[in-house]
Structure 1
């Protein structure tokens, strides 16, 4: 080959590479609803400048019907035509002046319906796509993401779902109250609280109900949880809480350190026999996804989102990490609840000193007995008034504070910032509700404990437990065994470290369980686990969980960097 031809050849490669680099991608995203016959498929395109496009497509199944195309309002000055001919659909759009998109942006939504069920399948078949800038044809690639739609859920009405959850709770409490026969033997080994959690999980796994369809968890966590914290804190002896001492904080930080070191150790262990499970390159690297788990398991949702932003894990693979988070965290919570039924034996093995915990429980119990009375309708209404007025104040305060901080402080508004948790409404909701409960404990409102304030708070907690259980799909444990195994090894290391330190400092099982759940479960479940020991202890779980939000991103960053090191090494 002559020098001239070589030059032409390399110039051709450069031009080809340039064209490839500038080729835009038309992306058909996942359907926005997994459980409905009617759903939308968003269609996005990344940075491009165009004034006309024509897209011809069809569906992968005759039962999939495209009914309408909803154009992004940004492009409303142009003209859209949508036509169908048999199983082929044509979308034509044109405008006089070119439209410039500088980043990935939605151009329209496809509105579809179907009578069949599809699980992780491509719903759209792209036959042809042409984008033009004036008369110039623009090279556009395409990507179609598989979707799950119209999945079976027998009961979608929240009134029915709530009825089933209450039926579950009623069944557990009724059978647990039996003194003879099979049930006393059963509950000797299986705590009632665990059953309140597992029965809804079984319902969800069988397709009777689904947390993805129901709003009951949101209602329970945003309304009943803060209300319960107020009622369970209203008679608290704050001095007695502080007298619980340093062991509570030590076990909390032990849980944090267990998560930080557990991630990299889990990667090292799994890599010895399944290196591909912990592999991946670039933004697909598994350690990047596991960093989001660290954020969730030390802090909460805001910390998890921060890690996703910071490390840029491929969002198409992110669902697998969410699955690990849900499955492993829920399995661990079930183990902790199981341990509550054996806490006396565990404390004996740990040689734990329960003096401070017992003193707190006795103070609350004594106060309750001293103020006990047959509650009147006025008492119940006043208790609910205290609870839900506080919830209203907490929501208002959370909205104002989180909005103000997000609008005025870049460190809070930036999802990659370690301080992004302070922009979370849920963080402030739990903090303010707990604070209101503590303030009420210094007033005569604490006398409503004698009318059953903590019992009503406990009812709210158990409803929350049932809705948390509804999020657990037992069948998903086997969907991604490699990632689930990483999570289980990771959580085992976390647990082992907690047990070791608890044994060394003779910390009660209460501190172990709540210290762990304040990290792994966060504010939604730490008070649940704490209240399972005694309603008066719910405040401890809430306070530690709030603290977890603060340290969550810092701990997760350290964990992520350690995982990066062992993955590269």
Structure 2
């Protein structure tokens, strides 16, 4: 019904404002509601409902391409700008262990879920050629280990039909957001979960207190020049990353075409990787002090706009064409969850690392910082760093996962 992107953007911003306003109301009813339904989840699903009802059209809108190319890189820079390397170093190897455990959980979860559902409903996993279900699920593997660039790469490798891809995208987004909501909700019970895992998270608490003291002692009301500096850093780094990606991508495509299967010929991959590197380098300079005038908060604004535009891509009715795919996604995520919790308990790793390591795989750079910030805003850069690792290995691990699912579907 509404085709004008300026109008659509206005609607999305009103939706975000409404969610944040109602979430801040002191009335018990609203507090209970948002105690069950995280505000972030509504920021995804309300635009999805508008798209599914035909009020807006996410497929034809140019908002997502613009926001993902400009706002996402800028928010990554702003998130990493205030990185406290000394504090992150004290976190130790546990973050990397849980990140890799999350990857393995996705890799084994796909074939297991496909096998379980095939024994109950063989028609769900049927199909030949481009309609073979495992081809569509291969793109979910790329998305849940890396991100959109990896998903697109695996789509080009395994060529599922447009209809099948539309269905699995709906499963991808819905299941991933349900899992993220569960992680954010569980963040409120970290102490209990750590006790079950027999994990000592005291060092994380010490780091949080230190970061809070630093922020309290240095934070100030931003002046106009501070906001200009933030815009210059975020969008300037984004522009530089775009320019560098334009030089790197054609060179790799022409001279090393085989790297395409690793997403290394994707300009979006290089943009995301480069802005993160730029942000990390800037965090070693005096520009790091821009965090005290709201770098991460401005990054969060950009991130929520991105969340809304991602939500408007969802067609909530697409799953109805093959609801069994949704069952595969749920079982897949349950296997992933069981694996990371098992690893966390085995090595007595705090739940924070399990949650962020998982979301760095499943949600990537768009939502891993959000989950990390649910524990403490200053820990958001941990999610960014781990999600970049996911981009690096996502296509390769997703490719192997796809081959395993192909083998299971042919049994």
Per the normalisation by structure 1, the TM-score is 0.66
Query: Normalized per residue, which structure has more strand?
Result: 1
> Matches of residues 504-543 of structure 1 in structure 2 within 5 Å?
504-543=346-385
Q: What is the alpha-carbon distance in structure 2 between the residues aligned to residue 215 and residue 341 of structure 1?
A: 37
Alignment partners' CA distance in 1, 2:215 and 2:284:
15
> If you compute each CA radius of gyration, which structure gives the higher value, 1 or 2?
1
Partner of 1:277: 124
Q: More helix by proportion, 1 or 2? A: 2
Matched, 1:329 2:176: yes
Q: 1:507 to 1:536 in 2, by over 3 A?
A: same
Task: Tell me, in whole angstroms, the C-alpha distance in 2 between the residues paired with 1:203 and 1:281.
Answer: 33
1:203 Cα deviation from its structure 2 partner:
2.9
Listed as ranges, the matches of 1:474-489 within 5 Å are: 474-489=316-331
Residues 291, 307 of structure 1: 8 Å contact kept:
yes
Deviations, residues 434-486 of structure 1 (Å, cap 9, x unaligned): 22222222222122222222222222222222223333333333231122222
Query: Please, which of 307, 310, 315 is the counterpart of residue 154 of structure 2?
Result: 307
Q: Give yes or no for the alignment of 1:264 onto 2:143.
A: no
Aligned counterpart in structure 1 of residue 98 of structure 2, from 251, 254, 258: 251
Q: Which residue of 1 aligns with 2:140?
A: 293
Distance between the aligned counterparts of 2:48 and 2:166, measured in 1?
A: 20
Q: Cα 1:322–1:192, aligned 2, differ >3 Å: closer, same or farther? A: closer
Q: CA deviation at 1:433?
A: 1.4
Q: Could you tell me whether the CA contact under 8 Å between 1:290 and 1:560 is conserved in 2?
A: yes
Relative distance call for 1:306 and 1:438 in structure 2 (3 A) is closer
**Residues 180 and 447 (structure 1), Cα distance of their counterparts in 2 relative to 1, 3 Å cut:** same
Could you tell me the TM-score, scaled by structure 2's length? 0.89
Task: Pick from 420, 441, 449 the counterpart of residue 291 of structure 2.
Answer: 449
How far, CA to CA, are the matches of 1:522 and 1:339 in structure 2? 19
Of residues 314-323 and 225-234 in structure 1, the stretch that sits farther from structure 2 once superposed is 314-323
The alignment partner of 1:473 has SS state of: coil
RMSD: 2.6
Is 1:494 aligned to residue 343 of structure 2? no
Contact 2:359 2:368 in 1 (8 A): yes
1:226 maps onto 2:46 in alignment: no
Deviation larger for 221-230 or 346-355: 346-355
Deviations 1:84-104 (A, max 9, x none): xxxxxxxxxxxxxxxxxxxxx
Q: Tell me the residue number matched to 1:70.
A: none
Unaligned residue ranges in structure 2 (runs of 5+): none
Q: What are the equivalent positions in structure 2 for 1:227-242 lying under 5 Å apart?
A: 227-242=74-89
Partner SS for 2:317 = helix
For these two proteins, the number of residue pairs brought into alignment is 411
User: Partners of 1:180 and 1:284 in 2: how far apart?
Assistant: 50
Greater length-normalized contact order (CA 8 Å, ≥ 6 residues apart): 2
Given that 2:170 and 2:316 are in contact with CA atoms closer than 8 Å, whether structure 1 keeps it comes out as: no
Cα distance in 2 for residues equivalent to 1:565 and 1:165? 43
Structure 1: 5+ residue stretches without partners: 1-153
TM-aligned CA distance change 1:283 to 1:403, over 3 Å = same
Q: What's the counterpart of residue 547 of structure 1?
A: 389
Runs of 4+ in structure 1 off by over 6 angstroms are none
CA displacement at 1:300 relative to structure 2: 2.9
Matched, 1:410 2:279: no
CA contact (8 A) 1:241 1:540 kept: yes
Alignment of 1:144-163 (within 5 A): 154-163=1-10
